[in-house]
Chains A and B, each alone.
Chain A
Amino acid sequence: MGIFFSFSMIIALVVIAFAGVQLANMQFIFGVVIPYAAIATFLIGVGFRVYKWGRSPVPFRIPTTCGQQKSLPWIKHSRFENPDSTFDVVVRMALEVFLFRTLFRNLKAETREGRVAYGSDKWLWLAGLALHVTFFVVLLRHLRFFMEPVPFFVNLTDSLDGFMQVGTPHLLITGVVLLLAAVYLFFRRISIPQVRYISLPADYFPLFLIMSIAISGILMRYFTKVDLVRIKALTMGLVTIGPVETDGIGAIFFVHIFLISILLAYFPFSKLMHMGGVFLSPTRNMANNSRIKRHINPWNYPVKVHTYEEYEEEFRDKMKSVGLPLEKE
C-alpha cells in the first residue's frame, strides 16, 4: 500500500516535468528556478536539522563499547571498538562511515553441511556500500558539468569508471551499479517480511527517486543522446548565476534535473538525514573515558536526596545496638 503511494508519486513527478517542458514549455522554470529553490531548501533544511540536533546537549557519555576497555597495562585494549581517545574515535567513525563497519559485524562465515553460509546482513552491507560509493562517484563525475576547466581527478574517475571500453560512449559501471543496488535494496525491503512489516511510504519514496534519477541519467547518456554542449552552458550558467538559455535541450534532461531537485528538496525532511545523524550519534562519536575524565552535563540540576544524617537519625539506636560508629551518640 505504502509502495503504491510512493510509486504513484514518482510517476506524477515525471509526468509533471515532462508535460511542463514539452507542452507548457516551462523550460526556464524547470531548468533554473526549481533547481535554485531545491538547492536553497537543501542547504537551509540540512543546516537547520543539524542545528536542531546540535542544540540538544549530550548530557551523558554513553558510547556502545564493542571491545575490551582500556584497563591494566597487560590487557590488550581494542582501540577502535572501545575508544578512549579522540583519535581512536575518529578512526571508529571513519570505519563506520566509509566501510559500514557495523553492518559487517555479524558476517561470520560459517560452514554448515559443507556449505559456507554468511549471516543475513552481508547483502545489506554489500548493497548499501555499493549504493553509497557509486552515488559518490557519480556525483564526482558530474563535476565536469559544473567546473571549467574540468579538474584532472574528474577525468581520471571518468576513465577509470569506463575502463572496460565497452560500447560508445563508454559504459560507465557506477551508473549501472547504482541502479542495481537501489533495485536490490527495494526488493530486499519487500521480500524480507520483518523489513516490509516496518517499512513506511517514506522508505520507498527515496528508493524510487534514486532509481528514476539513475534511469533518466542512463537514458540520457546512452539512448536519447542530448546536446552536451548546451547542457554544459546551462549548468555553468546555474553555477555562475549568469544568463542561461534553456531551448534546444531534450525534455529527458529536465525530467532528470527536476527529479534531482525533488531529491534535494525532500532530503532535509526525510530519513536521508542519516547522513548528518551518523556523525552526531552519541553511541559512536564519543570515547569511553568517562571514568578517566568527568563528562559535564549542562543541565545537571541538584536533586532531593536522603542524607546520612537523616539515615542515622532514623536508625541510631539500631546502629548503636550492633556497635556501628555514629556521628552523634
Chain B
Amino acid sequence: MAKTTQPAKPEELSKIDYTPPATDWLETPVEFKPGTYCHGSRIKYLEEVGFPNPREWAPSDEDWKLPANWKDIILEGMKERLGKYRSFQLFMDICVRCGACADKCHFYIGSGDPKNMPVLRAELMRSVYRKYFTTGGKLFGKQAGARELTEAVLKEWWYYFYQCTECRRCSVFCPYGIDQAEITMMGRELLNLVGGQTDWIGGPVANCYKKGNHLGLEPHAITSNIDYLLDDIEEISGIRPEPSFNRKGAEILFVAPSGDLFGDPGTYTAMGYLMLFHEIGLDYTWSTYASEGGNFGFFTSMEMAKRLNYKIYAEAKRLGVKWIIGGECGHMWRVLNQYMDTWNGPADFMVEPVSPITGTKFENAKGTKMVHITEFTADLIKNGKLKLDPSRNDHLNVTFHDSCNTARGMGIFEEPRYIIKNVCNNFHEMPEDTIREKTFCCGSGSGLNAGENMELRMRGGFPKASAVKSVQKKYGVNMLANICAIDRAVLPPLMQYWVPGVSVCGTHELLANALVMTGEKKRTQDLRLEDLPGIEEEGEGEEEENV
C-alpha cells in the first residue's frame, strides 16, 4: 500500500519555511506524493497484450523491479525512435529555450511546479539525449546541459510524462511548433519498454484488445445497456428506436466512445445519437466488435494504438458498409484524423461519404471515409432536415469547451457551435484565449482520468475551471457542453470542486432534447428524466395528447 505521510512533528511545524528549496532542476529528485500520480499497471493487463516486464510494483516503491539492462533498453529505444521520427530528432535539437511556451501549460499554471513548464518537461528527455547522442553533450557534460540516465531520472520521466495530457497547447505557442505531446509519447513508449505504464491505461488497453472497448463491455452487455437507454427514450418520447448491431449490408457503421454506453452524462449523449438516427431513418449499424472509438493504446505506444485501431476498418470491411460516422470523442478523433488511414488504410473498400439525407459530399473525409458526427448533424440542420424546438433547453445557459484534440489536432470549432446555437437559446462563449486553438485542457486527458490522482486533475483543470467560473458569474452559465467522452467523465468532478452549479453534457444530448420527433408524445422530461422547463405550471394531471 502507498505509505501514508505521518503528521508533521512539532519542530517541523515551527520552522515553516515559506520559500521552497532552490536547487537546480537537474538535482531536485521527484517525490511521489499520494494524489499526484497514478498506480503502476498490474501484471494481468501487460501480459494480455504482450507488454514487456509485467510485475507487481508501485511508483512510490524504492525498487521498481526494472530489468537489469533497462538502461540499454531505453537508450536503444531512443536511438531507434530518433531514426524513425523526424519530429523527435528535430525537437531534441532545435529548441532555443526562449520560454514562449513556459507559462502556457495548464499543469504549470495550476501546480506552479517548474518541471511542468513544457520546455523543462522536454529538457528532462533532452538532457539524456545530449549525454548519449551529441558530441557536445559527451564532452562537456553538465555544461552542455547533459546528464546520466539513472533510475532517479527514469522516475522523473515517469512522474512528468504522466503529468502531461498531450494537449499540444505548447506547440501552438512555440515559434518552431515543437510539440511536447510528441516528446511525451516518445517518453511513454520508452517507459513502456521497461514496464512503466499506469494501471488506468493498462486496463482499457487490455479490454479494448480482447473485448473491443475500453470498459470491457461484452456483446450482450452492450445490447443490454442500450436496451435500458431505449427504455428511457420510450418513456420520454413514446418512441422506441430499433438500432441494429453487427448488421451486414448497412450503409453506415457508427463508432462511438464506449464511455457513452456506461457512465453518466455520457449515456445521455448516446441516447441523443439513438434518437437522431431514428428520426432521420438512417441505415446504420453499431458494432460490438469495433465498439470503441477512443484509443488508450495511443498513450502507450504507436504499435499498440495501431493494434487497437485495426478493428474499425476491419469491421467496416467485414460488414461492407459505405462509410463510417464517428461519435463525440477527443482522442478518438486525433487518431482518426491524423493516424488511422496511415496505419490501417487505404480504405478503398468504402466510398467517398455522401449524406443520404441531404446529398452533401464530405470532401474533407474522402480519404479516411470517416465523418465526425457534428459535421454530419450540422449539415442536417443547415439543410433544414430536423424539426427543432430550442425552448426545451431554455432552462440551460450553455457554454462550449473545445476539447484539445479536436481543436489542435483537427480544427473542429464551428460545427458543434452551429448545432448548439440552433438547439439552445442561451449560449455564451468563454473568454477568447481559453477556447478554440488556445483552449485549456480538462486536466485529465491521455489516460490521467483515474481516481487516485484527483489533486493532480484538479490542478490541471483549474485554468479551464476559472474560465467557466467567469462565464458563470457574468452570464449565469449552468451547462458546460463538449464533444468528448473523457470530458464528460472528468468535467463533472472538476465542476463540483471549482465551479459548483455547472453541470456537463454532450452536444447531442442538447440536440435530442430539442429534437421534435415525428409521432412523439408531448415531452415533459428531458433525457435525464428531469422535468422540462414550463411543465410544472401546467400541472401534473395533463393527459397526453399527440403534438
Chains A and B touch each other in the complex, with CB atoms below 8 Å apart? yes
Q: Which residues of A contact B (CB under 8 A)?
A: 2, 5, 49, 52-62, 64-72, 74-76, 78, 81-82, 84, 96, 100, 102-103, 105-106, 108, 120-121, 124, 128, 192, 194-195, 197-203, 269, 271, 273-274, 277-278, 280-284, 288-297, 299-300, 303-308, 311-312, 314-315, 318-319, 321-322, 324-325
Q: Mark B379-408, 1 if CB is under 8 A from A, else 0.
A: 100100000000000000000000000011
Supposing A71-B414, A96-B175 touch, asked if A277 and B90 sit within 8 A by C-beta, the answer is: yes
Report the separation of the CA atoms of residues A81 and B182 in the bound assembly, to the nearest whole angstrom: 20
Supposing A198-B102, A280-B86 touch, asked if A64 and B339 sit within 8 A by C-beta, the answer is: no
Whether B247 and A325, one on each chain, are in contact in the complex, defined by CB atoms closer than 8 angstroms, is yes
Supposing A72-B379, A192-B99, A274-B176 touch, asked if A290 and B342 sit within 8 A by C-beta, the answer is: yes
Residues of chain A within 8 A of B71, CB atoms compared: none
Report the separation of the CA atoms of residues A308 and B172 in the bound assembly, to the nearest whole angstrom: 40
Whether B178 and A304, one on each chain, are in contact in the complex, defined by CB atoms closer than 8 angstroms, is no
Residues of chain A within 8 A of B120, CB atoms compared: 197-198
Beta-carbon contacts under 8 Å, B404-438 to A = 407-415, 418, 432-433, 437-438
Beta-carbon contacts under 8 Å, B152-206 to A = 168, 171-179, 182
Q: Mark B75-96, 1 if CB is under 8 A from A, else 0.
A: 0000000111111111101111
Residues of chain A within 8 A of B175, CB atoms compared: 96, 100, 102-103, 128, 278
| 15 pairs of residues in contact across A and B, judged by CB atoms under 8 Å | A53-B86, A62-B179, A71-B414, A96-B175, A102-B177, A124-B99, A195-B98, A198-B25, A198-B97, A282-B90, A288-B411, A297-B342, A311-B212, A322-B219, A324-B245
Q: Is B496 engaged at the interface, CB distance under 8 Å to the other chain?
A: no
Contact of B173 among A102, A199, A295, A308 (CB under 8 A): A102
Beta-carbon contacts under 8 Å, B130-168 to A = 135-136, 143-145, 168
Residues of chain B within 8 A of A55, CB atoms compared: 83
Q: Mark B328-343, 1 if CB is under 8 A from A, else 0.
A: 0000000011110111
Supposing A304-B307, A305-B307 touch, asked if A295 and B86 sit within 8 A by C-beta, the answer is: no
Residues of chain B within 8 A of A124, CB atoms compared: 98-100
Known: A277-B93, A290-B367; 15 extra A-B contacts, CB below 8 A, are A5-B143, A53-B93, A60-B339, A61-B342, A66-B437, A102-B100, A197-B120, A277-B94, A281-B90, A291-B365, A292-B366, A305-B307, A308-B311, A311-B211, A315-B219
Whether A291 and B367, one on each chain, are in contact in the complex, defined by CB atoms closer than 8 angstroms, is yes
Whether A294 and B87, one on each chain, are in contact in the complex, defined by CB atoms closer than 8 angstroms, is no
Whether B360 and A72, one on each chain, are in contact in the complex, defined by CB atoms closer than 8 angstroms, is yes
Whether A82 and B342, one on each chain, are in contact in the complex, defined by CB atoms closer than 8 angstroms, is no
Q: Is B522 engaged at the interface, CB distance under 8 Å to the other chain?
A: no
Whether B360 and A324, one on each chain, are in contact in the complex, defined by CB atoms closer than 8 angstroms, is no
Contact of A202 among B86, B136, B303, B360 (CB under 8 A): B136
Report the separation of the CA atoms of residues A67 and B412 in the bound assembly, to the nearest whole angstrom: 8
Supposing A108-B432, A318-B220 touch, asked if A69 and B408 sit within 8 A by C-beta, the answer is: no
Residues of chain B within 8 A of A120, CB atoms compared: 103
Whether A70 and B364, one on each chain, are in contact in the complex, defined by CB atoms closer than 8 angstroms, is yes
Contact of A283 among B177, B219, B342 (CB under 8 A): B177
Q: Is B524 engaged at the interface, CB distance under 8 Å to the other chain?
A: no
Report the separation of the CA atoms of residues A296 and B356 in the bound assembly, to the nearest whole angstrom: 30
The residue of chain A having its C-beta at the shortest distance from the C-beta of B227 within the complex is A322
Residues of chain A within 8 A of B413, CB atoms compared: 67-68
Whether A59 and B85, one on each chain, are in contact in the complex, defined by CB atoms closer than 8 angstroms, is yes
Residues of chain A within 8 A of B487, CB atoms compared: none
Residues of chain B within 8 A of A53, CB atoms compared: 86, 89-90, 93
A-B pairs, top 3 by smallest CB distance, nearest first, are A277-B94, A69-B411, A283-B177
Q: Is the interface of B mostly helix, strand, loop or mixed?
A: helix
Report the separation of the CA atoms of residues A68 and B416 in the bound assembly, to the nearest whole angstrom: 12
Q: Is B209 engaged at the interface, CB distance under 8 Å to the other chain?
A: yes
Residues of chain A within 8 A of B318, CB atoms compared: 308
Q: Mark B1-28, 1 if CB is under 8 A from A, else 0.
A: 0000000000000000000000001000
Residues of chain A within 8 A of B83, CB atoms compared: 55-56
B358–chain A nearest beta-carbon distance, Å: 10
Q: Is B73 engaged at the interface, CB distance under 8 Å to the other chain?
A: no
Supposing A274-B94, A297-B342 touch, asked if A319 and B314 sit within 8 A by C-beta, the answer is: no
Residues of chain B within 8 A of A282, CB atoms compared: 86-87, 90, 177
Whether B94 and A303, one on each chain, are in contact in the complex, defined by CB atoms closer than 8 angstroms, is no
Report the separation of the CA atoms of residues A180 and B89 in the bound assembly, to the nearest whole angstrom: 33
Residues of chain A within 8 A of B288, CB atoms compared: 319, 324
Whether B85 and A56, one on each chain, are in contact in the complex, defined by CB atoms closer than 8 angstroms, is yes
Supposing A283-B177, A304-B307, A321-B220 touch, asked if A202 and B144 sit within 8 A by C-beta, the answer is: yes
Residues of chain B within 8 A of A194, CB atoms compared: 99, 102-103, 114, 117
Report the separation of the CA atoms of residues A289 and B363 in the bound assembly, to the nearest whole angstrom: 10
A298–chain B nearest beta-carbon distance, Å: 9
Contact of B25 among A197, A299, A305, A324 (CB under 8 A): A197
B495–chain A nearest beta-carbon distance, Å: 26
Contact of B94 among A201, A278, A295 (CB under 8 A): A278
Whether B378 and A72, one on each chain, are in contact in the complex, defined by CB atoms closer than 8 angstroms, is yes
Beta-carbon contacts under 8 Å, B339-375 to A = 339, 341-343, 345-346, 360, 363-368, 370, 375
Q: Which of A2, A201, A291 has the most CB of B within 10 A?
A: A291
Whether A121 and B342, one on each chain, are in contact in the complex, defined by CB atoms closer than 8 angstroms, is no
Q: Is B218 engaged at the interface, CB distance under 8 Å to the other chain?
A: yes
The residue of chain A having its C-beta at the shortest distance from the C-beta of B248 within the complex is A325
Whether B303 and A299, one on each chain, are in contact in the complex, defined by CB atoms closer than 8 angstroms, is no
Residues of chain A within 8 A of B174, CB atoms compared: 102
Residues of chain A within 8 A of B86, CB atoms compared: 53-54, 56-58, 280, 282
Residues of chain A within 8 A of B119, CB atoms compared: 198
Whether A62 and B94, one on each chain, are in contact in the complex, defined by CB atoms closer than 8 angstroms, is no
Contact of A64 among B172, B337, B415 (CB under 8 A): B172
Supposing A56-B83, A271-B96, A273-B94 touch, asked if A62 and B182 sit within 8 A by C-beta, the answer is: yes
Whether B96 and A203, one on each chain, are in contact in the complex, defined by CB atoms closer than 8 angstroms, is yes
Whether B364 and A84, one on each chain, are in contact in the complex, defined by CB atoms closer than 8 angstroms, is yes
Report the separation of the CA atoms of residues A100 and B407 in the bound assembly, to the nearest whole angstrom: 22
Report the separation of the CA atoms of residues A69 and B375 in the bound assembly, to the nearest whole angstrom: 11
Residues of chain B within 8 A of A75, CB atoms compared: 378, 414-415, 418
Whether B364 and A66, one on each chain, are in contact in the complex, defined by CB atoms closer than 8 angstroms, is no
A92–chain B nearest beta-carbon distance, Å: 10
Whether B303 and A65, one on each chain, are in contact in the complex, defined by CB atoms closer than 8 angstroms, is no
Whether A303 and B220, one on each chain, are in contact in the complex, defined by CB atoms closer than 8 angstroms, is no
Whether A198 and B117, one on each chain, are in contact in the complex, defined by CB atoms closer than 8 angstroms, is yes
Residues of chain A within 8 A of B145, CB atoms compared: 200-202
Residues of chain A within 8 A of B99, CB atoms compared: 124, 192, 194-195, 198
Residues of chain B within 8 A of A105, CB atoms compared: 172-173, 438
Q: Is B65 engaged at the interface, CB distance under 8 Å to the other chain?
A: no
Report the separation of the CA atoms of residues A201 and B136 in the bound assembly, to the nearest whole angstrom: 12
Contact of A281 among B84, B94, B114 (CB under 8 A): B94
Residues of chain A within 8 A of B268, CB atoms compared: none
Report the separation of the CA atoms of residues A202 and B130 in the bound assembly, to the nearest whole angstrom: 12
A151–chain B nearest beta-carbon distance, Å: 32
Residues of chain B within 8 A of A198, CB atoms compared: 25, 97, 99, 102, 117, 119-120, 123
Whether A291 and B100, one on each chain, are in contact in the complex, defined by CB atoms closer than 8 angstroms, is no
Supposing A292-B365, A303-B303, A307-B314 touch, asked if A64 and B95 sit within 8 A by C-beta, the answer is: no
Residues of chain A within 8 A of B310, CB atoms compared: 303, 305
Report the separation of the CA atoms of residues A292 and B306 in the bound assembly, to the nearest whole angstrom: 20
Q: Mark B306-332, 1 if CB is under 8 A from A, else 0.
A: 110011001100100000000000000
Whether A201 and B144, one on each chain, are in contact in the complex, defined by CB atoms closer than 8 angstroms, is yes
Q: Which of A57, A64, A108 has the most CB of B within 10 A?
A: A64
Residues of chain B within 8 A of A100, CB atoms compared: 175
Residues of chain A within 8 A of B409, CB atoms compared: 62, 64-65
Q: Which of A269, A289, A294 has the most CB of B within 10 A?
A: A294
Q: Is B470 engaged at the interface, CB distance under 8 Å to the other chain?
A: no
Q: Mark B108-139, 1 if CB is under 8 A from A, else 0.
A: 00000010010110010000000000011000
